[in-house]
Amino acid sequence: MFNETVLKEIDGIKARYPDRKSALLPSLYIAQREFGWLSDEAMVSVSKALNVPEAMVRGTASFYSMYKHKPVGRHVIQLCTNVSCMILGAEKLVDFLGSRYGVQPNGTSEDGRFSLVIMECIGACGTAPAMLVNTDFHENLSEKSLEDILEQYK
Here's the x/- map for ligand FES, 98-137, by CB under 6 A: it reads as -----------------------xxxxx--x-x-------
Most distant pair of Cα atoms in the chain: their distance = 50
Nearer to ligand FES, 25 or 86 (CB): 86
Here's the x/- map for ligand FES, 37-76, by CB under 6 A: it reads as ----------------------------------------
Q: What is the DSSP string of 105-120?
A: BTEE-TTSSEEEEEES
Cβ atoms 46, 57 nearer than 8 A: yes
Q: Which of 22, 39, 84, 145 binds ligand FES (CB under 6 A)?
A: 84
Q: How many residues does the chain have?
A: 154
Going by DSSP bridges, is the β-strand pair 131-133/107-108 parallel, antiparallel, or unpaired? unpaired
The residue ranges that bind ligand FES (CB under 6 A) are 80, 82-85, 121-125, 128, 130
